Structure 1
């Protein structure tokens, strides 16, 4: 199963590194199979400067990545991406073909901008909830939850909550046992809430 994580300049480091670690660890723990192929995708193939100047070389660009089963959109300083029609149109196309779209933190802004008909329960970083409600009144924005699963759309609150959400996705896409083993391997106290 191909898990693509979209990053961009000033993306929050743990928003993409946390989910990457969850899926790569889950795959490593499977002795008889490799259930997940996880990789980073950016608009271009060049190095991306994430928050704090953290330099990341994505595995693929939006033009050359393998077909995706799951797309995770990281959060961060997302405002420039909201105006980037190339990225927004790419997200829209992915939403039409992937099995599942997931967002971490402010990544939900990009998804809601790409899918103008999106109307479901979501969450984001507590600091961004008022803006999300103002910009996208059709969304039912929940507070005080780590993640929300609405079937084909899964969103998490801020930063470290993306790890909780990704463990939930492992349990959903593979097994609860693998998710529990992954959390244990990562020495992470998995918060399981909806």
Structure 2
């Protein structure tokens, strides 16, 4: 029993102090918005072009799932491209970025007089909950009108929750596939590929696999040359014009424990301000918010002095105006410059050539550790075989904290046993002798007559 108590004490103290940190780390990546109304950028519509839309839920969506497909589609110049939502208020994207939708569902219907040609469905934080019903109901009307659906990452579960994947082959993020298979057994879930084309639905694996799926959708709707040119424009190094590239099915490994240490014991995790500036690329923004956010080792928040328009016309709203309470500033974009007061140091990750996520992963390795950057790339489903990551090998401080707390908990438990044992011995030492005849009574007691 004593051994069990000591072991429980060694576990309980790290767990008690780590649990609030886990909640705090996850909260940093939870979508939030102030709900203030802001007007989107003016809408231009060319009826001669097909229309592609990226739908976001009331409670937001994953930032890379939303912005990477948007920029690819807009880069081609061959589509009318919009973000749409059930309402007009800003919607939160993971990592601390708020997006003003271009159109509501009703406004899109008035503009088109029917369904869009392509609807992109990113992962949403409230999949399967009643709050997604406006999206799933709208998706059903779009499909009935002949729309091609493209689900990105766990956006497949949003589509599946509407019953629109029943009988279809589909894929999703490797971390959630087992759960989706249990939740939506009518779907033929596929592993080990970056995307699945099942006719009326294209689904992609995790996060940046959405780039491959979007390029494939461009190929289907516009042509192979347009897809290849879009891949070159965003400097995507893994474009495969011959079809869906296979990928080794990722699984949790012992080295992935790095995320647990960062999440539960990264008590002093830095908070980074991400400056919003006019004309910033959508993928450049996503690379900063999602890379740091998926690591769970760094918090991010959008900063600026008011709404801005991105390279292809999306409207974003900052959550902070100054750098008060933040550790450093990151300025996305190749031509951006720091304008936020009170921020130092300042970093410019996109002033070097290459895919936008490369420099941010390298910075993550340098400022946290290589193991964290490798975990983040694994979650992003971004191959980094040719990317040089330099920095500490492992988050040793975060790893030693639970060990030290466990030892302390065991010492406290052992000390309690020693203290209680000493009290018991002291009580025993101070007790009177057991009841019985005393020596004096035995001397004075008369003896019986013989």
Q: Which residue of 2 aligns with 1:131?
A: 179
Contact 2:159 2:165 in 1 (8 A): no
Please state if 1:193 is matched with 2:244: yes
- Larger % of strand: which? 1
Counterpart-to-counterpart distance in 1, 2:92 and 2:154:
17
How big is the shift at 1:116?
5.6
Q: Normalising by structure 2, what TM-score?
A: 0.40
CA–CA distance in 1 between the matches of 2:210 and 2:126? 16
Change beyond 3 A, Cα 1:81–1:62 = farther
More divergent stretch after superposition (112-121 vs 69-78): 112-121
Q: 1:193: how far off?
A: 1.1
Q: Which residue of 1 is the match for residue 89 of structure 2?
A: 46
Alignment correspondent of 2:107: 64
Q: Distance in 2 between matches of 1:178 and 1:44?
A: 32
Superposition TM-score, scaled by structure 1 size: 0.90
SS of structure 1 residue aligned to 2:95: helix
* Cα 1:116/1:184, change in 2 over 3 Å: closer
Q: Whose Rg is larger?
A: 2
Unaligned runs of at least 5 residues, structure 2: 1-49, 246-450
Deviation, structure 1 residue 78? 3.2
Assess if the C-alpha contact under 8 Å between 1:22 and 1:182 holds in 2: yes
Q: Which residue of 2 aligns with 1:32?
A: none
Residue number in structure 2 paired with 1:87: 135
Which runs of structure 2 are paired with 1:122-161 in the superposition (5 Å)?
122-161=170-209
Aligned partners of 2:75 and 2:230 also within 8 Å? yes
| CA 117–171 in structure 1, closer or farther in 2 if over 3 Å, else same | closer
Q: Distance in 1 between matches of 2:128 and 2:100?
A: 20
CA RMSD of aligned residues (A): 1.7
**How many positions carry a matched residue from both structures?**
187
- Asked if structure 2 preserves the Cα contact closer than 8 Å seen for 1:51 and 1:76, the reply is no
In structure 1, distance between residues paired with 2:210 and 2:130:
21
* Contiguous gaps of at least 5 residues in structure 1: 28-34
Structure 2: how far apart are the matches of 1:144 and 1:97? 31
Residues 42 and 76 (structure 1), Cα distance of their counterparts in 2 relative to 1, 3 Å cut: same
Distance 1:101 1:82, change over 3 A: farther
2:146 maps to 1:98 = yes
Matched, 1:5 2:49: no
* Further displaced range: 158-167 or 92-101: 92-101
